[in-house]
Amino acid sequence: MKVGVIMGGVSSEREVSLATGREMLSHLDKNRYEVCPIEIDDKRELISKTEGIDIALLALHGKYGEDGTVQGTLDSLGIPYTGSDVLSSSVCMDKDLSKKLLRCEGLFTADWVVVGSMQELAAADVEGLGFPVVVKPNAGGSSIGTRIVRIQDELASAVEEALQWDRAVMIEQFIDGEEITCPILNGEMLPIVSIKPNSEFFDYTSKYVEGEADEQVIELPPELRKAVNAAAIQCYKALKCSVYARIDIILKDNIPYILEVNTLPGLTRTSLLPRSAEAAGYSFSSLLDAIIEFSLTERKSEKQGVEGYEYNEQLYIADCARYAPIRNSTVF
């Protein structure tokens, strides 16, 4: 099987992607796979550089990697890829949209507002959130452009900085609690990892520089563990994740607040998912084997679903009649 490790990309997380790709390349079983490193420097290169591979092992992060665009391109090319599908990838990349869906599911997540300009900031009810707040790009990752703002006077500069990375900025209520992460593999929870950064929060340095955060696999008390597991799995299902993901959570007063969902979590030497998987008995190599195997099964299932669909005119007419009163109502 020819495995193309897709890495690099054009997002602000390019260096993280390259680190993930290098780690994958060093741990893939060369006796089992024909490994092909594919570094992307331009969006158009994906089409030409992936020709002939049997599966794309995605080491990409951020925009044009985690947001569904690469997944959609690979779908069009008929090339299986690892991780969640187009819909889930794009929804999870949009923090605002994913939080709205989580609220609809009855899950806890911090209050927030989103602004797209300094003019919108002036009209936003940030004081209603209370300080401190967390300011971050709505579709960013690796904590790039993220700041904790403790007083009103620091808000404008933080939003200006975040707007350099994304056209929308989330201003989120700061929840002072214990940060944990819940990796999920093929719908099953892996061991929970506790995160205690040396800095003010789990920023870029804490995530990718060895020794800048204390990350330990932990065992929560039974009742709390049950609540965390339920919230993480419900979140995974609600956002239609598949194969693997990492659910980041803040615990406060024994309540799990969902921070965000990573559909292509980092797999560098300092990353959280490999640490959790190791505690579950996976070597780095066997973790990659599982991701590839589960992804091939998922893509096959998706393909069968599309090919198995048959247009039924009578059902279509019945549905049109059924929903006509709703479409014609004054609600819309």
Q: For the chain, how far is it from start to end, CA to CA, in angstroms?
A: 51
Q: Which domains does the chain have, with CATH numbers?
A: 2-83 (3.40.50.20), 111-173 (3.30.1490.20)
Q: Strand 55-58 to strand 2-8: parallel, antiparallel, or no bridges (unpaired)?
A: parallel
Q: What is the per-residue pLDDT across 67-93, written as a single tens digit (0 to 9) for each?
A: 999 999 999 999 999 999 999 999 999
Q: Phi and psi of 245, rounded to 5°?
A: -165, 170
pLDDT at 10: 85
The rounded Cα 211 to chain-centroid distance in angstroms is 24
pLDDT at 166: 87
Which active-site residues does the annotation give? Answer: 13, 142, 271
Q: For residue 296, how many C-alpha atoms fall within 13 Å in the half-sphere facing its CB?
A: 10
Tens-digit pLDDT profile for the chain (332 aa)?
999 999 998 887 888 899 999 999 999 999 999 999 999 998 889 999 999 999 999 999 888 888 999 999 999 999 999 999 999 999 999 999 999 999 999 999 999 999 999 999 998 999 899 999 999 999 876 567 888 999 999 999 999 999 988 899 999 999 999 999 999 999 999 999 998 866 555 544 555 556 666 789 999 999 999 999 999 999 999 999 999 999 999 999 999 999 999 999 989 877 899 999 999 999 999 999 999 999 999 999 987 765 544 445 555 455 555 545 444 444 43
Is 260 annotated as a binding-site member? Answer: yes
Are the beta carbons of 98 and 258 closer than 8 angstroms? no
CB neighbour list of residue 214: distance below 8 Å, 6 or more residues apart: 194, 195, 196, 197, 198
Q: Phi and psi of 331, rounded to 5°?
A: -60, -35
Q: What is the per-residue pLDDT across 211-244, written as a single tens digit (0 to 9) for each?
A: 666 789 999 999 999 999 999 999 999 999 999 9
CB atoms within 10 A of CB 279: 16
CB atoms within 10 A of CB 51: 9
Q: Phi and psi of 181, rounded to 5°?
A: -135, 145
Nearest to 246, CA basis, from 222, 221, 269, 271? 271
Strand order in the sheet with 112-115: 112-115, 169-173, 133-137, 147-149
Is 262 annotated as a binding-site member? Answer: yes
Is 219 annotated as a binding-site member? Answer: no
For the chain, the three-class secondary structure string (H helix, E strand, C coil) is CEEEEEEECCCCCHHHHHHHHHHHHHHCCCCCCEEEEEEECCCCHHHHHCCCCCEEEECCCCCCCCCCHHHHHHHHHCCCECCCCHHHHHHHHCHHHHHHHHHHCCCECCCEEEECCHHHHHHCCCCCCCCCEEEEECCCCCCCCCEEECCHHHHHHHHHHHHCCCCCEEEEECCCCEEEEEEEECCEECCCEEEEECCCCCCHHHHHCCCCEEEEECCCCHHHHHHHHHHHHHHHHHCCCCCEEEEEEEEECCEEEEEEEECCCCCCCCCHHHHHHHHCCCCHHHHHHHHHHHHHHHHHHHHHHHHCCCCCHHHHHHHHHHHHHHHCCCCC
